[in-house]
Amino acid sequence: MLPAYLQEVYRITDVARAFGYRVLPNGTELVGYVPHIAPQARFHQRFASLSEPDTSGELAQMMRNSRQSDYTKQRTILQ
């Protein structure tokens, strides 16, 4: 079951399903085809959630490194 805030997002964006709906192999949902804007334009893109391995492995390490780098840059500016 989706959390309440996501249920509300889906309720609002599902209105555009009348204009077309597509799920990509990576789980991203494209909702509301609008070819008059651009050939591949959609009203909404709902990205798939990250899996547990994604959040605990290499991605998590990259985020930690990025935060540390940002902290170091901020300290350098303040000195």
Question: Does residue 60 contact residue 77 with C-beta atoms inside 8 Å?
Answer: no
State how far the alpha carbon of 70 is from the alpha carbons of 54, 58, 60, in Å.
22, 18, 15
Q: N- to C-terminal Cα distance for the chain? A: 49
Mean pLDDT of the chain: 80
Domain count, the chain: 1
Containing domain of residue 41, as a range?
4-78
pLDDT interval class at 31 (50, 70, 90): very high
Residue with the two structure tokens 């209105």:
15
pLDDT interval class at 5 (50, 70, 90): confident
Can you give the pLDDT at residue 11?
Answer: 92
Can you give the pLDDT at residue 32?
Answer: 93
Alpha-carbon gap, residue 60 to 62, rounded angstroms: 5
Can you give the pLDDT at residue 2?
Answer: 75
